[in-house]
Amino acid sequence: MKQSIRKKSNIEIEYERAMTARKMTEKTQSTYSRFFLRYIYWLRDDNGGEWVHPESVGVEHVTRYLTWMANTKNYAASSQNTCLSALLFYYNTMLKRSLQGIDAVRAISAKHLPVCASPRDVTAMLPYLEGV
């Protein structure tokens, strides 16, 4: 089966060149590019299927996108933070525009509780340990 290869848009190429110029790692570039591309497609879908250049929108759309990520797509907090960093890179670094006032619903970080054994549990396990 033949896979189709999508041609990168000018904005994607410019975005990747800007990251390369700032010596970002390949992993960061790949991750940021994916999140930025998803944002571009979301802008299109949010605009009834019509393409919208990210330069023509700002804080309101970024806020709505990050909220959509948390509420509709259930992204993890770390993914939402990475996406925000990718978008801030575009607006702050490439467009020289500040995105002040982003007030998006934030994804909730998972609470990891430590698993502890009680003194009674430890005493019960000791006979099964060898070489300790």
Exposure letters 56-87 (e unless 16+ CB within 10 A, then b): ebbbebbbbbbbbbbeeeebeeebbebbbebb
Residue ranges of the chain whose pLDDT lies below 50? none
The three state secondary structure string of 38-63 is HHHHHHHHHCCCCCCCHHHCCHHHHH
pLDDT at 126: 85
**Which whole-number Å values give the CA distances from 26 to 89, 103, 108, in the listed order?**
15, 30, 28
pLDDT at 113: 67
* Rounded Cα gap, residues 113 and 29, in angstroms: 33
Question: Is 60:90 a contact under the CB 8 Å cutoff?
Answer: no
* Rounded Cα gap, residues 36 and 14, in angstroms: 12
The structure's pTM equals 0.77
